[in-house]
Amino acid sequence: MWCDSMGWIEIFLDGISEAFGLILSSDAEILGIAALSLKVSMIATLLGAAFGVPLGFLIASRSFYGRSLTIAVINTFMGIPPVVVGLAVYLLLSSSGPLGFLSILYTPQAMILAQTLLTFPVVCGLTVSSILALDQRLKETLQSLSAPKLWEAFILLRESRIGLITAVIAAFGAAISEVGAIMMVGGNILGYTRALTTAIMLYTNTGEFALAIALGIILLLLSFGVNLALTILQMRYRKKR
Amino acid sequence: MAYVALRSVRKRYSDKEILKGVSIDIQRGELISIVGPSGSGKTTLLRLIDGLDFPDSGEIFIDGIKLTMENAPKLRKKVGMVFQNPVLFDASVYDNVAFSLKFRGLPDDLIRQRVEAALNLVMLNDLAKRSALTLSGGEAQRVALARALVYDPELILLDEPTANLDPANVLIIEGALREANLQEKTVVLVTHNIFQAKRLANRVALLLEGEMVEVQETESFFNRPLDPRTRRFIDGDLVY
């Protein structure tokens, strides 16, 4: 086999040198792919947080019939395979689907929608855990000080901000690293919906390992950059006990 | 008319009856101390007056209004509560006290004035910018007192506010309570420290195993108790 004759170390080293070559030469195609990946995953993470944090807070702070079941369902969806989400969104957006009239299948919007469905349960589930982990006396103290409901929510979310940042980190990780969902609803169209993960898959299938490795390194660096920023924020907020 | 009135209040948690038909009148502007051994129902009594929990039977009146689940949030606005182990927010000392006023929508300049006055009362102005989570137990308790006093409540409920504190902190907290009482505030001080009750209270009540044994003027309570159990409690002969 080609791999055996060339040797995997050579392929790997070749990939690394090509990666830095591409990064340093600011290759327009690669930059476009990286920018799309970052844009889609960041927007999906923000949307997932915008819906997941309030819903997670409500689930954790109210008692209602079936709460444990609801939390179990959300926790299950935290680990949902991206291809299943991709399939569901594909069926929704296909021309015969209920949202077919939007005509957004094979567009970045469809990719954002699919990834939002992945990030939402992650943020929601981890928000529930963070709020449930708070000292229960906090709520009683707020009640005793006559805090209005919105203030109560603000303070409790503020108290669990480290957990909420963890939720955002996990959600972004799930989004930026997944390939199944965006492949199915984005279609991997060059210059339009090709993201880092879908490109890595394509180049691996076509035997362009060096390029695939280069994109893999860029993916890791981007992910590291975002996580570093979030971790610095998290460390700034850590309780000064 | 009593400012706080309890009528035959009963409260049970799972299989244990904590309060067994407690009745007491607390007059406006008095500093009353409720003493009793641990587990006698003192904390439960305070929680019921603050509307954090509700009696199984019996009635509680605050300023003539019957306390219900519906009107508790409104009535509680006139009440300041200091818990035995207060939970402070992960914010500065200043913000911890200011939050009580922000909840009430006061303008920033008024908030600043009142927070400074409240911190001054508990001698914590120097620590205003410190993270509240770095404070000692005594300092934390003083912040909890300041945030309960800052919104000028008519009624102040305190649950063992000086338990396990060093004399310096006890002195500051007792000074702040005397000051609050001088301003005609009604203070209910729960303590198992009879010496503190003797130092501060106008009247003292003994709660024993969920029953109100005796309520008397402080001097009479300690020198001429009516119930033999009170005498034994004062003398330290009551084993609990």
Q: Would you tell me which residues 212-231 of chain B have a C-beta closer than 8 angstroms to some C-beta of chain A?
A: none
Q: How many domains does chain A have?
A: 1
Q: Does the beta-carbon distance from B52 to A155 stay under 8 Å?
A: no
pLDDT for position B122? 94
Q: Rounded CA gap, B14 and A224, in Å?
A: 52
Q: Would you tell me which residues 143-162 of chain B have a C-beta closer than 8 angstroms to some C-beta of chain A?
A: 147-148, 151
Could you give the domains of chain B? 30-52+78-235 (3.40.50.300)
Residue B118 has pLDDT above 80, yes or no: yes
Q: Please report, for residues A48, A94, A216, B48, B50, the alpha-carbon distance to residue B61 in angstroms, rounded to integers and kept in the order given.
A: 48, 65, 70, 11, 11
Residue B154 has pLDDT above 80, yes or no: yes
Expressed as residue numbers, the domain containing A16 is 7-236
pLDDT for position B240? 56
pLDDT for position A5? 55
Residue A227 domain flag: yes
pLDDT band at A236 (very low <50, low <70, confident <90, very high): confident
Any CB–CB contact under 8 A between A158 and chain B? yes
Q: What is the CATH number of the domain that holds A163?
A: 1.10.3720.10
pLDDT for position A6? 61
Residues sharing a CB contact under 8 Å with residue A127, sequence separation 6 or more, in sequence order: A52, A53, A55, A56, A57, A60, A160, A163, A164, A167
Residue A1 domain flag: no
3-class DSSP state for residue A192? coil
Q: Does the beta-carbon distance from B76 to A144 stay under 8 Å?
A: yes
B172: its two tokens: 């500051």
Residue A164 has pLDDT above 80, yes or no: yes
Instruction: Kindly state the average pLDDT of the residues B183-203.
Output: 93
Share of residues in chain B with pLDDT > 90 (%): 90
Share of residues in chain A with pLDDT > 70 (%): 96
Q: Would you tell me which residues 35-94 of chain B have a C-beta closer than 8 angstroms to some C-beta of chain A?
A: 50, 52, 73, 76-77, 79, 81, 83, 85-87, 89-91
Q: Rounded CA gap, A237 and A226, in Å?
A: 17
pLDDT for position A240? 54
Residue A241 has pLDDT above 70, yes or no: no
The answer to whether the beta carbons of residues B169 and B138 sit under 8 Å apart is: yes
Higher pLDDT, B170 or A18: B170
Instruction: Kindly state the average pLDDT of the residues A17-37.
Output: 85
Give the minimum alpha-carbon distance from B81 to chain A in angstroms, rounded to a whole number.
7
Say which of A140, A147, A158 has its CB closest to residue B52: A140
Say which of A146, A159, A240 has its CB closest to residue B73: A146
Residue A2 domain flag: no
**Chain A interface, best mutation among B89, B115, B130, by max A CB count within 10 A:** B89
**Chain A interface, best mutation among B90, B97, B136, by max A CB count within 10 A:** B90
Q: In this predicted model, what pLDDT tens digit does every residue of B45-92 receive, in sequence order?
A: 999 999 999 999 999 999 999 999 999 999 999 999 999 999 999 999
Q: Does the beta-carbon distance from A145 to B148 stay under 8 Å?
A: yes
